[in-house]
Amino acid sequence: MAIDGVEEKMMKEEVFDSTTASFLLKELKQSFASGKTRSYEWRVSQLKSILKFVNDHEQDVVDALRSDLSKPEFESVIYEVSMLKNSCKGALKKLKHWMVPEKAKTSMTTFPSSAEIVSEPLGVVLIISAWNYPFLLSLDPVVGAIAAGNAVVLKPSEIAPATSSLLAKLLSEYMDRSCIRVVEGAVAETSALLEQKWDKICYTGNGKVGRIVMQAAAKHLTPVLLELGGKSPVVVDSAVNLQVAVRRIIAGKWCCNNGQACISPDYIITTKDFAPKLVDTLKEELEKFYGKNPLQSKDLSRIVNLNHFARLSKLLDDEKVSGKIVLGGERNETELRIAPTLLLDVPRDSLIMSEEIFGPLLPIITVDKVEDSFDIISSGPKPLAAYLFTSNEKLKKQFVTTVSAGGVVVNDTTIHLAVDSLPFGGVGESGIGSYHGKFSFDAFSHKKAVVYRSFLGDAAIRYPPYTLGKLRLLKALMGGSIVRIIRALFGWS
């Protein structure tokens, strides 16, 4: 296989710096300028190539995720591989329809005319992905970017090195390398990429790095799609099927990468009276799922690295919460494992309530009445997701109306992620923009307004000399009132 300019430069210098990044961007801009990515055929071929390499290498993906996170095969296949396949299949099925210009109405002011909205690719986009779902969160935005007709640079997370390496290898083998590239590395490589002028940057991760990405993008007025996180609350009312509610909370918390997920439940709010029943049921179901010694369970992912293990341990060791543990708390630093942990009546000013947990710890806050939970949620930054369990229709409506979050689910957790007819994204500090399904296509497209006119119907009233009669008629036309237009035509005041 021939070595292109960027690879040759990297082999000589053994470093990916700003100069190398600039050269890579230049090559991709040239490919984009050729027009090849705009065609329906190219987009379809690349989406099919993603499907092919996923089908050909599914076990390799599972193995890489196990290496990076000890992720159970069930979670890898269902929540990463299968969801990506569905994303590709959905785009392939609907792409032709997405690409068709959308007809738009015109007004009497521009009569006779027609108008449409044309979706055009932005150009060359940079996608910086996260380590917790390193396969899905790398390639799902890529699907949208390709469907929209863009050239793409993907920067996988160095914290998931096995998956990053596999992505670099497979995309190089299966995809059109003149338009789609992978850059591996850490802070230095990411910084070099962020110095460049991209047509859009998509970043998935935490708010701290999100601010760095946004600051770098602002220098070039580059639009951003930021998928961040936050403290996603779960409000549990007493009017519920408690076993089902608890199982669904567990599924969203510990069955999703052991709590290392951006939409994972971050804390529970329930009433003082109902909390004992809730805790007892959580204990029972957690033991059914993970046994009496969950540190030995093969169905729980490990903590990604020692830094995150230390961060979570610090949250647990905080003197304000160390005595609040009602289940779990066991740790194995050597194997980077922390058991599912429940903490009851956690102070709101504790460290665990001041930052996103992103791990297997679940604090429970109690209130006098369930409606008090709305003020607690609203007092903090807007979360990426908010969950409510209740059979009370009035409470459901009040929750949806009152709580501002990226997404809301009633009587379940995290499942909105799998509904591609819904936008997935944050609000406020939990993110900017959204994607999934058609929203992915739109996220990487420019909606270009187009008006068509003939040479007929050229009205003299728009040209000088300006008269009172012309002004009256134009005001009537722009106002859209037939009566006023008739009055203006006849010169009636």
260, exposed or middle or buried, with CB in 10 Å at 0-12, 13-18, 19+?
buried
Instruction: Give just the sign of the alpha carbon dihedral 122, 216, 385, 281.
Output: positive
Long-range contacts of 326-331 (CB under 8 A, 24+ apart): 326/279, 326/283, 327/279, 327/282, 327/283, 327/286, 328/294, 328/360, 328/361, 330/294, 330/295
User: What gap in Å lies between CA 65 and CA 80, rounded to an integer?
Assistant: 10
User: What gap in Å lies between CA 71 and CA 258, rounded to an integer?
Assistant: 9
* Residue spans of beta strands (DSSP E) within 258-360: 267-271, 325-327, 331-332, 337-338, 341-344
User: What gap in Å lies between CA 198 and CA 196, rounded to an integer?
Assistant: 6
The verdict on whether 227 is a catalytic residue reads: yes
Q: How many CB atoms lie within 10 A of CB 59?
A: 12
Instruction: Give just the sign of the alpha carbon dihedral 323, 328, 330, 331.
Output: negative
Distances, alpha carbon 52 to alpha carbons 34, 45, 84, 310, 394, in Å: 26, 10, 12, 40, 48
User: What gap in Å lies between CA 263 and CA 257, rounded to an integer?
Assistant: 11
Distances, alpha carbon 20 to alpha carbons 26, 127, 218, 316, 449, in Å: 10, 17, 22, 44, 36
Q: Taking a C-beta distance cutoff of 8 angstroms, is the pair 357, 318 a contact?
A: no
- Of 75, 80, 189, 227, which is the active-site residue? 227
Identify the residue whose tokens are 């009205």: 459
Q: Taking a C-beta distance cutoff of 8 angstroms, is the pair 265, 234 a contact?
A: yes
Which two tokens mark 405? Answer: 């979050």
The verdict on whether 262 is a catalytic residue reads: yes
DSSP 101: P
Using the CB atoms, write b or e for 449-467: b if 16+ within 10 Å.
eeeeeeeeeeeeeeeeeee
- Of 179, 255, 256, 262, which is the active-site residue? 262
Using the CB atoms, write b or e for 387-416: b if 16+ within 10 Å.
bbbbeeeebbebbeeebebbbbbebbbbeb
Residues recognised as catalytic: 227, 262
